Chains A and B, each alone.
Chain A
Amino acid sequence: MVTLLMDTSNTNLSIGLAKDHKVIDSICYEAWQKQSEFLVLELDAILKRNGLTRKDIEMVVSAKGPGSYTGVRIALTVAKVVAFALNVPLYLVSSLEALKDENAPSICLMNARSKRSYIGVYDKESVIMEDKIMDNVEVLKYISEHPDYKICGLVSYLGLEAAEPKNLDILAISDIERNFVSDPVAAKPVYLKDLY
């Protein structure tokens, strides 16, 4: 029995299988505008190469946004369908939290365009700052005020550097109560920007 992990909230496609909170296999690559074409094929491929069928999926953990408008909807949609069809538990995790370093207070960042960022601050399982949109000027100020926090995410747009995110490793340990979804059919992506 395995946990299915998925994240397509940015330009990458990430899919993995976990056992006992550890990733046992994964497929990750850049797939901007192609995530919807490839995700279900990769789901099939990763099960097959591990000698598994869909009946072996005992839990689904997916990123839910914020992130790319279309991207956040792809993994979430597949996660909802799989959890509903197999009647297994569904956990949805902030796409920002998925970028965190599991051992350090982390400022998790993503480009929200128009000189803004999606930002969320996490320390292990606790939420220091809820996910929100912030002007990049304010983001840089927040970072300078918290020199002991680790910067996580794809942050080259801010002229910063960060370690490669380990999003699937984080998803593998994110089946915690605050991420549990009691009604998969009603689950919605988190976009944060609804109007401009």
Chain B
Amino acid sequence: MKHTFTSHSREDTRKLGKIIASLFVPSDVVLLRGDLGAGKTTLVGGVAEALKVNEDVISPTFNIMKCYFKGTLPMYHIDAYRLEGQNIELGLEEFIEGDGVTFIEWPQYIEPLWPDEYLTITLLHAGEDTREISVESNSPRLDKIVEAVKEAF
């Protein structure tokens, strides 16, 4: 199931994060696609706020992964950009298949680590602060998250 809508501001993108946050269970994975500045980190920031993480979310491009343990559900934020062509084991699957929700930016570089079921969120520039956002699920359980997004946007 897939739903596409327009975000008119950073606040809209954050709101998307807040809506989906409450629906995650341990081991859920979200693949984040989109250009630099499209709002991937903004979206994760919205999720963090709803999970009461109480920490600013910054892009983990340098660190590769940031862990947020303090919220109502552990949240892991991976940026695989620097792993392109590396194919090295770093133990990321312990988090991806672990006790929290994991967001993966540049997921194409660690495709062997994807679980069978995942949500894909794509953010595209559509001029100024406007973004075209699509939320796609490949499993019946995650369809419920797409339905919730459909209702809100």
**Additional pairs, 14, CB under 8 Å, beyond known A113-B94, A113-B97:** A33-B67, A33-B69, A68-B94, A69-B89, A69-B91, A69-B94, A114-B93, A114-B113, A193-B89, A195-B89, A196-B87, A196-B88, A196-B112, A196-B113
Q: How large is the interface on A (under 10, 10 to 19, 20 to 34, 35 or more residues)?
A: 10 to 19
Q: Which A residues touch B152, using CB under 8 A?
A: none
Q: Which B residues are within 8 Å of any A CB, using their own CB?
A: 67, 69, 87-91, 93-94, 96-97, 99, 112-113
CB within 8 Å of B: which of A16-55?
32-33
A140 → chain B closest CB, angstroms:
18
A70 contacts partner chain B, Cβ-Cβ < 8 Å: yes
A69 to B113, CA, bound (A): 14
Q: Which B residues touch A68, using CB under 8 A?
A: 91, 94
B115's closest neighbor in chain A, by CB?
A: A114
Of the listed residues A33, A113, A114, the one surrounded by the most CB atoms of chain B closer than 10 A to its CB is A113
- In the A-B complex, list the 10 residue pairs whose CB atoms are closest, starting with the nearest: A69-B91, A113-B93, A196-B112, A193-B89, A195-B87, A113-B97, A196-B87, A194-B89, A114-B93, A70-B91
A193 to B91, CA, bound (A): 9
A114's closest neighbor in chain B, by CB?
A: B93
A196 to B91, CA, bound (A): 11
Could you list some 9 contacts between A and B, CB below 8 A? A32-B99, A68-B94, A69-B89, A69-B90, A69-B94, A70-B91, A114-B112, A191-B89, A196-B87
B74's closest neighbor in chain A, by CB?
A: A33
Q: Are A196 and B89 in contact (CB under 8 A)?
A: yes
